[in-house]
Amino acid sequence: MTAKLTGQAQRLRIFIGEADHYHHKPLYHAIVLKAREMGLAGATVMRAFEGYGPSSRIHTTNLLDLSSDLPIVIEIVDSKEYIEKFLPVLDTMVDAGLITVDDVTVYKYVHP
């Protein structure tokens, strides 16, 4: 069986810190596990080299300034229905960060 997602969809981006945790697990990992459990199409975690948030404190991989809390971005693309079901769950998991949703057009997504 092949699952397909094409046409109009939504992209969910979650910006958090690498040091954030949820129930004794890294928050980014807990979010990926929950997304999979809820049947979302997929999730990608990206670790940034540098960034800052509301505190204006710069987190960087620079050796002189090495941070243990680098920025993390989790990106999920799925139908509006699935994204909307996942947002209330994120509210309970993310204490500090930024969550954005934007409309996208999926050109091709095929999963065996």
Is 48 inside any structural domain?
yes
Give the model's pLDDT for residue 56.
67
In sequence order, what are the residues at sequence separation of 6 or more whose Cβ sits closer than 8 angstroms to the Cβ of residue 96? 16, 17, 20, 53
Q: pLDDT tens digits, residue range 58-106? A: 766 665 555 567 889 999 999 999 999 999 999 999 999 999 999 999 9
Cα atoms found within 13 Å of the Cα of residue 30, Cβ hemisphere only: 16
Is the residue at 22 inside a domain? Answer: yes
**Run of H or E residues at 98:** strand 98-106
pLDDT of residue 68: 66
| Cα separation, 7 vs 105, whole angstroms | 5
CATH of the domain at 68: 3.30.70.120
Distance CA 62, CA 74 (A): 22
Whether 80 is in a domain gets the answer yes
Amino acid sitting at position 61: T
> What is the number of structural domains in the chain?
1
pLDDT for 67: 58
